[in-house]
Structure 1
Amino acid sequence: MPKGRKVNSSGEKSKKLLLEKAIELFSTNGYHETKISDIVKAANLTQPTFYLYFQSKESLYKDLIEQFQNNFFEIVHNDLENKPSANRSFIHNIKEALVNIFTYFAGNLFLTKIGFYDSVEAESIKEKFALALSDKLQENQEINFSSEIEVKIFADMIVGAVERLTLTALFTELREPEQLAEDIVNIYFISQKELVR
């Protein structure tokens, strides 16, 4: 039997606690203002314990961004890749993707703040989201765009709405994920609204 810590050991609890405190501190204070000493103090652990699990503050931060990005794009691709059918339109897929994105954001507020807003990678994450959405919009036959609007601009507007509404309505708990997804679909796909229901 291999040696090492068991999954539910105090070591795994320490690592999880360090991650939670790091996410919270990076989100609240920013990357540069957060020190390893702050993270271990908040977790009530020691710096040697930190280095058992993480090579550096930078590597921990990069891991968090990667975790956010992987989770986010798994949601985006899973929902947008669903094939429209008789009882499931493409617009329904978009609405479901938005519900799942907002639900993930609400359940991971601090990580979302880091990954979608504060990190250097945030802009490229939003750009990849807009491109994925744009590609699916162009492939789809349900939605007809006028010659006056580019599909990529339309996708950018949806991403902008997600970005702004997350801050102003989701994080402030003014709206639930389902309500926000419905709002966006009704605004951007108003002529197709009956397909969503």
Structure 2
Amino acid sequence: MARGRKVNSNGERSKQLLLEKAIELFAANGYHQTKISDIVKAASLTQPTFYLYFESKDSLFNSLNAEFNEKLMTIFDTDVEGNVSLSDLQKKLENVFTFFAQNPLLTKVGFFEAMDASVVKAELAQQLQNSIIGVQGIEHSKIVAEALVGAVERLTLTCLLTGEFTPKEVTETLMSIYFSAAQQTA
């Protein structure tokens, strides 16, 4: 007979609680200032319980980052070779901002705090570049994609996560700034 906890048992809830509290603490205090003892205290659990699910703070943090990256990149999974319209690109950008707005703490961890956040941003730039390449009338797709990632990063912090603007408003503004000439010829 298999050993361990049953699915949907208190163990599964404990693991989820540890993940939730870790996201909150990493987002608020950063990776280096957050200790395992802080996470288990916030979750009202014990350190042995923590080690049932995670090898270390690193493994927990890496798990959260992998989850963030996977969810972010699924936004681009529907790319098709060939012509991409500006409305396709706009929808992808809006989906990125919507994902960030719906997951503000995970976004702070995965997009800003993670040790490999630069890798995530490089992947995002590559995905945007791949989408931009297919849009007629846009040159220098690499430069545009890299500039967009910089704008996405800054606007996420200053406008989106503060609640000042919606994902749709941020997206429409970016599209008008970066693609106004292409929109006029489309």
Normalization by structure 2: what TM-score? 0.91
1:94 aligns with 2:84: no
Percent identity of equivalent pairs:
47
- 2:75 touches 2:96 (CA, 8 Å); kept in 1? yes
Separation in 2, partners of 1:121, 1:33: 18
Structure 1 residue 20: deviation in Å?
0.3
Question: The residue matched to 1:189 in structure 2 has which SS?
Answer: helix
Task: Indicate if the aligned counterparts of 2:89 and 2:132 stay in contact, CA closer than 8 A.
Answer: no
Partner of 1:182: 172
How many residues align? The count is 186
Asked whether the equivalents of residues 99 and 181 of structure 1 are also in contact (C-alpha less than 8 Å), the reply is: yes
Deviations 1:48-82 (A, max 9, x none): 1111111111111111111111111111333xx04
The letter for the 2-side match of 1:45 is L
RMSD: 2.0
Q: 1:143 aligns with which of 137, 140, 143?
A: 137
Q: 1:23 to 1:141 in 2, by over 3 A?
A: closer
Structure 1 consecutive aligned stretches of length 4 or more whose deviation exceeds 6 Å? none
Q: Residue in 1 aligned with 2:105?
A: 110
**Partner secondary structure for residue 138 of structure 2:** coil
How far 1:194 sits from its partner (Å)? 6.3
Q: Which residue number corresponds to residue 69 of structure 1?
A: 69
- Give 5+ residue unaligned stretches, structure 2: none
Distance across 2 between alignment mates of 1:170 and 1:194: 27
Q: Is the 8 A contact 2:75 2:92 kept in 1?
A: yes
State the shift of 1:129 in Å: 1.3
Please report the TM-score for the alignment, with normalisation by the length of structure 1.
0.86
